[in-house]
Amino acid sequence: MSTAETQERRTPGLVPVAETMRTAERRPSSESGQSEPAGPPVRLASAFWRLLGSELGLTFRRPRNQVMLAVVACVPVLIGIALRIASADEAVGGLIGSVAGNSLMLTFASFSFLVLLLMPIAVSVVGGDSIAGEAGAGTLRYLLAAPAGRTRLLVVKYLNAVVFAYATTVVVALSALVTGLVLFPVGPVTLLSGSTISVAEGLLRILVTVGYVGAGMAALAAVAVALSTFTEVSIGAIAATMILVIVTQVLRAIPQLEAITPYLLPSWWTKFDAVLRSPVDFGSLGQGLLVFGAYILLFGSIAWARFSGKDITS
Amino acid sequence: MRRGTFVRWGVPIAAAAVIAGAMGAGPVIAAVSGDPVLPERTAQQLLADAAAATKDKAGPPPMSGTVQQTASLGLPALPDMGGASPLSLLSGSHEVKVWYGAGDKLRVAMPTQFDESNLIVNGDQIWYWDSGDNTATKIKMAKGAEKPHALPTPGPADVTPQQVAAKLLANADEHTAIRVTNNAQVAGRAAYQLVLAPKDEGSLVQEVRLALDGETYMPLQVQVFAKGSAEPAFQVGFTQVTFTPPAEENFSFTPPAGAKVKEETIGAGGDAEHAEQQAESAKEARKDTKVVGAGWTRVAVLPATLADLTAKPAETPSDGKPGSHWKGGSEGADPSALVQNVLKTATPVSGTWGSGKLIKTKLVTALLTDDGRLLVGAVTPEEITKAAGTK
């Protein structure tokens, strides 16, 4: 409020157009909402899904996002080709080595690389752009002029980022799966524990991995959306999210700070390796999902507290 | 507006409080519901029960669980040795999964990021699987060797609380003040806690706490507290345990296609040369090893020179870890690197007994004298120099 007042005083010639809480939360029932008698829930729900649909359309039609998905899809292909060439020379151990023996393992190997940096970049671009991008382009107040409400807009923006996070995960999995099937033999999958499972069960475990990694990316999207509500420059929110990811990765690498690693988000992204054990370590996966849920709750509420009380000046 | 802002920001603060509460709920609930649910026992009764349970070769009940081992011995930072190296157990925190079926079925898995090593014992079939180098090793016990539980060289299996507890129980004698509490909670189970405190002033050990399950008397946790620290210097315990027979497939292992398969024999036979040599050198070392003092202030004196330690440290009995055995030569460099690293922090000391280098950690003091003796004990530096004086 105070900033809006000072801005008014500094620019006396301009008509203050700042959209504040009072104007935002007012339902425009008299002017434009003559066809909306006191908000029947069905109408509201359909408006919500329409808004989400248009957001998703905008996100996935955007060339920038399409290029990011394409880049993410290329990496498993590159890893597959590199491993195909390398495996001819010398036997390598571990997860990477097992790719040469089985096509499905390429999916897990690709996730183990991409989950560290490239997928978080893609997700934080969309998440960080969500609110700040609209504010920067000056379209936020038009969005809020529609009878949508700030909370609903925030939820739509977050769900949009979550869908993109899952899309990124699915693109990686599909690309790795196709590359693996082309380049490597199909057969029973050897787990990290040394036992083997059938191809069908391997595919099922890939599905579990997609669900888990997608949830991890959704947690990062919550952080990105929360940071996005603090600025009008979308690159600021995107960079801040990326810096957070990189700093936590560095902290994770310092052995003396082992005590704090369970609280860091990236520590849990790689825990999808639980599906490669026998029996599947559902305890570890469940704990990871709880951590993701805690991040979504905390940063979602921060985003809401900031966005619902923000003076929209652009 | 102001009030609204406060209310609004109350939501994330409440969310943070809920999350913090959920994280801290476990111990709090345990503390609140931690009324003594177990009947009172004297130390003697409990020791007898525990001893009976350990001696009983029918063994502990079938179970599975997660064992966490934490060591903060105050050693200097160890060189990174990779997750699977047993030497890495000396610092930091490690998790091991244990499945124990009836009789001689045991699986111990050590999961690390994108890797896992497994020791699977099923009757006379013993497999060691390491996903890191894609190798399955079939371990054969020579005839006349002990039961699989008691491998000649202690393996990762040795970090289960049972074995550690058995060793500690052997130490309980007149040098120790023993008391029992009956309201401990370990892995969500009510447990007796046997607290062994050394009576001797010269010991670095404050107390050893041994948690025994209230129902099965199985040791669930062992904690060693050093003098003057609230956190245990060494801890092995279950973080999760269930006393139901684990699935049979845990104990069956067939080397996966494409894996390297090796065979090794422990005790005698096929790979005998190496094993025999090791046993011989161990025997020799044992002959030369003297023990000075009694009870908790016992100090082991072994012949060792600086050159010995840095050149072939794997042969000193104090090393005791089986790295070289299972992993071939690949881990050979690690112990010497460790010793060199540790020696860097040593302080030179001298006295009427001569001079040497003193290495002090929270629990263990070691003195490497210039006349070629290595003294190791869980005692204060004063005690160890006293022991160095008694030839």
Domain boundaries along the sequence of chain A: 41-308
Nearest CA in chain A to B252: A195
**pLDDT tens-place string over residues A106-153:** 999 999 999 999 999 999 999 999 999 999 988 888 888 876 688 989
Task: Tell me the pTM.
Answer: 0.76
- pLDDT on residue B391: 60
Give the CA distances from residue B283 to residues B141, B286, B287, in Å, rounded to whole numbers and listed in that order.
20, 5, 6
Contact list, B4 vs chain A (CB under 8 Å): 21, 309
Is ipTM strictly over 0.95? no
CA distance A64 to A121: 12
* Cβ atoms within 10 Å, residue B73: 14
| pLDDT the model gives residue A155 | 94
Over chain B, what HEC string results?
CHHHHHHHHHHHHHHHHHHHHHHHHHHHHHHHCCCCCCCCCCHHHHHHHHHHHHHCCCCCCCEEEEEEEEEECCCCCCCCCCCCCHHHHHEEEEEEEEEECCCCEEEEEEEECCEEEEEEEECCEEEEEECCCCEEEEEEECCCCCCHHHCCCCCHHHHCHHHHHHHHHHCCCCCEEEEEEEEEEECCEEEEEEEEEECCCCECEEEEEEEEECCCCCEEEEEEEECCCCCCCEEEEEEEEECCCCCHHHHCCCCCCCCEEEEEEECCCCCHHHHHHHHHHHHHHHHHCEEECCHHHCEEEEECCHHHHHHCHHHCCCCCCCHHHHHHHHHCHHHHHHHHHHHHCCEEEEECCEEEEEEECCCCEEEEECCCEEEEECECHHHHHHHHHCC
Alpha helical stretches, state H, chain A:
2-10, 21-24, 41-61, 63-89, 94-101, 105-114, 118-137, 140-145, 150-183, 199-228, 234-253, 265-269, 282-308
Interface of B with A (CB under 8 A): 1, 4-5, 8-9, 11-12, 14-16, 18-19, 22, 66, 77, 80, 92-93, 109, 111, 113-116, 118, 127, 129, 131-136, 240, 247, 249-250, 253, 255-259
Residues of A (265-294) whose Cβ lies below 8 Å from B? 270, 273, 276-279, 281, 283, 294
* pLDDT at A219 exceeding the cut of 80: yes
Could you report the per-residue pLDDT of A166-212, keeping only the tens digit for each? Answer: 999 999 999 999 999 998 888 888 888 888 889 999 999 999 999 99
Question: Which range is least confidently modeled, A39-48, A78-87, B92-101, B341-350?
Answer: A39-48
Please name the member of A98, A187, A309 whose beta carbon is closest to the beta carbon of B4. Answer: A309
Angle at Cα A218 formed by Cα A214 and Cα A219, nearest 5°?
Answer: 120
φ, ψ for residue B85, nearest 5 deg: -70, 130
Phi, psi of B276 (to 5 degrees): -60, -45
Would the pLDDT of B327 be above 80? no
Residue B146 has pLDDT above 50, yes or no: no
